[in-house]
Amino acid sequence: MILTMSKVDRRILKSQEAIKKAFLELMSDKNFDDITIQDISDRANVSRGTIYLHYADKFDLLNKLIGEHINEMRKICHSASELDYHEGNLPWFAYLESHYLFFSTMLASKGAPSFRSQFTEFLIEEFKEEVDTTAGKNHGLHEDVLLQFIVTSYVGIVEWWITNGMPHPPHVMAEQVGVLLERNL
């Protein structure tokens, strides 16, 4: 019975990965609104029923895919919370690089504004603890203004890096962005 269960689990995981990969490939080729479940089914080489077994619709698939990556980035943040900005950014940029298809599709696609807003909200949560407007160079600034400045800059640099084909390796980006964060936080 245990062998059967593990085979089922592997098949389920394999189907889900095929569906996600097909969906991302389609999003890099087509507008989100133009993608159908049949398109995903054809590209993933699974039945429509298999897709509906795991996802309610393409919106659910998109949200779950985004949620998975946000959760992984959250884990990276928590594991790097005691590091300086340079060391803490290295796992981030390595993660972005290793999931290039996802991030390039989400940042380049007009059909994925929900990713950008969820990514921004996530970064606001993460940077909120780092912002101090009571003393030092940021004394007197409004916390919400400083947070927006830092987060939109961070999203912008990630977007620039991904959409330009990652012109610098992750360790260079981590170092450069780390210096900029140290100057502003």
Per-residue pLDDT reduced to its tens digit, 47-78 = 999 999 999 999 999 999 999 999 999 999 88
Residues 69 and 160 in one domain: yes
Q: Within 10 A of 159 (CB to CB), how many other CB atoms are there? A: 17
42 plus 101 within the same structural domain = no
Domain match, 32 and 88 both = no
Smallest Cα–Cα separation from 104: which of 158, 154, 59, 62? 158
How far is it, in rounded angstroms, from Cα 66 to Cα 118?
8
- Does 67 share its domain with 112? yes
Q: Residue holding tokens 């087509």?
A: 30
Q: 87 is in which domain, residue-wise?
A: 63-184
CATH number at residue 114: 1.10.357.10
84 pLDDT above the threshold of 90: no
When the pLDDT of each residue in the chain is averaged and rounded to a whole number, the result is 90
Please write the tens of the pLDDT for every residue from 106-156: 987 765 788 889 999 999 999 998 888 888 899 999 999 999 999 999 999
Reported confidence tier of residue 4, pLDDT bands at 50, 70, 90: very low
CATH number (domain holding residue 32): 1.10.10.60
Domain boundary among 39, 55, 71: 55
Number of structural domains, the chain? Answer: 2
Q: Are residues 69 and 46 in the same domain?
A: no
